[in-house]
Structure formats: structure tokens, C-alpha cells
Amino acid sequence: MSSVPRASSSQTSGVAYAGGAYLLWGVLPLYFLLLVPTGPWEVVAWRVLLSFVFCLLLLTVMRGWTAFLAIIRRPKLLGWTALAGLLIYVNWQVFLIGTLTGNVVETSLGYFINPITTVLLGVFVLRERIRRLQWAAIAIASVAVVVIIVAHGEFPWIALSLTASFGLYGLIKKQIGPAVDAVSGLTLESFWLIPIAVVQLILVAQTPAGLTMGVNGGWHAVLLACAGIATAVPLLLFAAGARRIDLTVIGMIQFITPVMQFVIGVVFLHEPMPAERWAGFVIVWIAIVVFVIDLLLAARRGRRTAPTPIV
């Protein structure tokens, strides 16, 4: 029996899982805009608490408690998950602030340059060697950031915070490796953030607007209650896809998310795009083209040197 059809089926399902994750991440700005008048601090608090509840249900349904209990007996892994939780919290909070303050285009910029940030982390943290075209993409992306700062006159703190936090989060996930499965990892990450979420809800409750859960109609309450599912599902889909396809494919399809967010910001939300900002984004897109070309060339070289499968 040939192993080729089985491998092909795994690749297809992997692309479907990962593609589904990036599509969901791409439309998240529209989902969170439906939660108005709930502010970013309250949304993230509910997102943390409800993600934790959803993950507990998943652990029960998927019978993952044995693996989960094995993880919590290893202090080093617990430390990594705590750090990952703090980084994903920063990412969620900055993303919500950007989305709910009319800066969806800038959030897309953060995810456009995230792959290049990941490469830089590989070089300086993991001591990986990178190819010339990757260095070229990094240099071009750096020029784009400088253009946006100098020409547009604003420091893109939302974009840079998003790419830094998600890049470091991915680095920690790589360090943990297969020792922590997706559901157990997200459960622990959410657990460490519960005190922060509770404090945020208390502080929001003291503001004049107060908490919005349950006071803006049933439909709004349902949408807000689904924030945990909206958080967990794409992360779990991504984990399922990443196990089935190589990083070259991941590297190319991950641009689905920032493209969708950029279109939402410009076309649907009519965010301002002066000439200087367009210039910065065009330079970023040139860097992405160079980056993708490098991925394709590397994949082609890999196929040439790969052994012929036994059928």
C-alpha cells in the first residue's frame, strides 16, 4: 500500500486546518467590533476567563486530563506556559485596543511583518543561520518601518507590539515543542491570566460605564460569551495544521490574516491611508514578496535533495 496518498491527505487536511485558523483570525476585527460598547479591557478579561472554561470542557471531552496532569508536574514547563500566557495577553490586549480604536490597518501591519520578526528571533536567540534573501527581506521591512515613522509622523507601536509579542510567543511554543499539547497549553496560559482578568473586570466595573455583560441585550451577551470560543478555536486549528504541514506552507498562507485585516480596515472601516502610509505598506509588501520567493526556492531545493519515497 502506498504511503503517498496518506501523506497527501495529511497535507491537504493540514492546509485546511491552518487556512481555517488564518481565515478566522482575519475576520476577528469584525467580530470584536460587534461587541461595542464593550471596551478592549473588558473584552480581553472575558476572553481569558471564557477561554479557560472552554479549554476545561475540551480537556474533558477529548480525555486530555492525563496529559494535562503530567505537564503540571514539570515546573519548567509551567514556567514556560506562564511566560507564554503573559505574551499572548499582551498580544490580545494590544490587538483589541487597535481594533476598537480605529487602527485595524496598523494591526494588519504587525502581522505582515511578523514572519520577518520570527526569522530575526531565530537568528539572535536560537543562533540560526539565514539565507541572503531573508536578510534582504529584513532590511526592506526595516526601511518600511522607518518610512512609516518618519514620513507618516507616528510610531507604529501597535504593529510593533503585536509582532514582538506574537513572535516571542511562537518562540516559546517552539522551545516547549511537543511536550505540551495545544489544549493543555492554552488551558495553562489562560489559567495564569485569571488574576489579571479579574482585576481588569473589577477596575472596569468602577468606571462610569461599568461592565457591559448582560446590560446591552441578549444578542450582545451571547456574542461576548462566545469570546472564549472565538479565541480558542483558531489557536487549536493552527496547532492541528502545523503538525501536518511544513513551515514553508505555513509561511505562505499566514499572510491571509493581515491581507484580510488590511482590506477590512481600508474598504469596510474607511481608515485613513495617506500617501506616506501607502508608501510604508508598499515597501512591506515588497519585503514579503522577497520572503515568499526565498521560501519557494528553499522548498524547491528541499524537494531536489529529498529521497524518493518507497511505495
Chain-centroid distance of CA 195 in Å reads: 23
Average pLDDT over every residue of 298-303:
72
pLDDT (mean) for 264-279:
91
The count of residues in the chain is 311
- Whether the pLDDT of residue 196 is over 80: the answer is yes
Mean pLDDT over 168-188 rounds to 86
Collapse the DSSP code of 223 into the 3-class scheme (helix H, G, I; strand E, B; otherwise coil) and give the result: helix
Residue 302: pLDDT band with limits 50, 70, 90: low
pLDDT in tens, 280-296: 899 999 988 888 888 78
Task: Between 192 and 175, name the one with better pLDDT.
Answer: 192
Q: Is pLDDT of 68 > 60?
A: yes
Give CA–CA dist 16/111, Å, rounded.
20
- The per-residue pLDDT of the chain, averaged, comes to 87
How far apart CA 200 and CA 45 sit, in angstroms, is 6
The cell numbers describing 74, all together, are 514539570
Task: Choose among 168, 91, 162: nearest CA to 124.
Answer: 168
pTM value is: 0.87
Alpha-carbon span 232 to 187, nearest angstrom:
9
In the predicted structure, residue 311 carries a pLDDT above the cut 50: no
At 248 the pLDDT is: 60
d(CA 127, CA 91): 25
Q: Where are the domains of the chain?
A: 10-134+157-269
Q: Would you give the distance in Å from CA 173 to the centre of its chain?
A: 12
C-alpha cell at 27: 475576520
CA distances from 112 to 51, 188, 254, 285 (A): 26, 28, 9, 8
